[in-house]
Chain A
Amino acid sequence: GESVGLHLPTLSVQEGDNSIINCAYSNSASDYFIWYKQESGKGPQFIIDIRSNMDKRQGQRVTVLLNKTVKHLSLQIAATQPGDSAVYFCAGVTSGTYKYIFGTGTRLKVLA
């Protein structure tokens, strides 16, 4: 079946360093991917998305990279700040269903 997984459950990063959160997906038909940030007790907040016809997309302090060959995407956060501490989810979407398949999440801890 479909799955979207994350390599690491927890990532600790020093404040000011760059963070890289990885995500693997299994369904080669997935053609749209989204990264969400979820703070404790809140709903997921949209960060950035990327379509399968792209390899890279940049936002404010964030970059998403997509490698369709190995079915892998990553979220890079530049100059990580304490406010970036949260759980990050990737979601893959298949154009046929448009349902989101969420990964298990990575908790990002920013160390002062």
Chain B
Amino acid sequence: GAVVSQHPSWVICKSGTSVKIECRSLDFQATTMFWYRQFPKQSLMLMATSNEGSKATYEQGVEKDKFLINHASLTLSTLTVTSAHPEDSSFYICSARAGSRDQPQHFGDGTRLSIL
């Protein structure tokens, strides 16, 4: 149980384009989903927290107009990297949590984004 699916797993695109990443909780309803960014050989850094039906809360230093997050249902959250540039290249990972805040987050397998 507690499976989180992320799509696509890998994307390469040209600088200036926008890229959408989907995060789905397959066997549970996720009241809260999280988006992380991970650079090579580094830890996960929280970008934003999204609750179903409300605006995402962004961490300090994360541009909300650059990284658009939508959490329209209890099983789907999307991250759109707008006007992507090479410095946006990274490994993006989502996680989902069911129910109360003291429950563990379950992670997707990440999306490797490469901007040329």
Q: Give the nearest-CB partner of B41 in chain A.
A: A105
Q: Is B93 an interface residue (CB 8 A)?
A: yes
Q: Per a CB cutoff under 8 Å, which of A41, A51, A89, A103 touches B110?
A: A41
Query: Quick one: closest B residue to A34, CB to CB?
Result: B104
Binary CB contact string for chain A from 6 to 50 against chain B (1 if under 8 A, 0 otherwise)? 000000000000000000000000001010100001111110010
Query: Contact at B102–A95, with CB atoms within 8 Å?
Result: yes
Residue of B nearest to A51 (CB): B102
| Neighbour of A99 across the interface among B41, B49, B93, B104, CB < 8 A | B49
Tell me the residues in window 78-109 of chain A with beta carbons closer than 8 Å to chain B beta carbons: 89, 93, 95, 98-100, 102-105
Q: How far is the CA of A42 from the CA of B44 in the complex (A)?
A: 12
Which residues of the partner chain A approach B105 to less than 8 Å between Cβ atoms? 34, 46, 100
Per-residue contact bits, chain B 1-25, to A (CB 8 Å; 1 contact, 0 not): 0101010000000000000000000
Whether A42 pairs with B109 at a CB distance below 8 angstroms is: yes
Given the complex, which residues of B lie within 8 Å of A41, measured CB to CB? 109-110, 112
A98 proximity list for chain B (CB < 8 A): 101-102
The docked-state distance in angstroms from the alpha carbon of A41 to that of B92 is 11
Q: Are B102 and A99 in contact (CB under 8 A)?
A: no
Q: Mark B91-116, 1 if CB is under 8 A from A, else 0.
A: 00101000001101111111010000
Number of interface residues of B (CB under 8 A): 23
Query: Nearest Cβ in chain B — how far from A93, in angstroms?
Result: 8
A95 to B84, CA, bound (A): 35
C-alpha spacing A107/B14, complex, angstroms: 33
A35–chain B nearest beta-carbon distance, Å:
10
Residues of A within 8 A of B42 (CB): 104-105
The 8 Å CB contact of B104, one of A49, A102, A105, is A49
Chain B residues lying within 8 Å of A104, measured Cβ to Cβ, are: 42-43
| Neighbouring B residues of A102 by C-beta, 8 Å | 43-45
* Pairs across A and B, CB under 8 Å, 11 listed: A32-B102, A34-B104, A41-B110, A42-B110, A43-B95, A43-B110, A46-B105, A46-B106, A98-B102, A100-B44, A102-B43
The 5 tightest CB contacts between A and B, nearest first, are: A43-B107, A98-B101, A102-B43, A43-B109, A44-B107
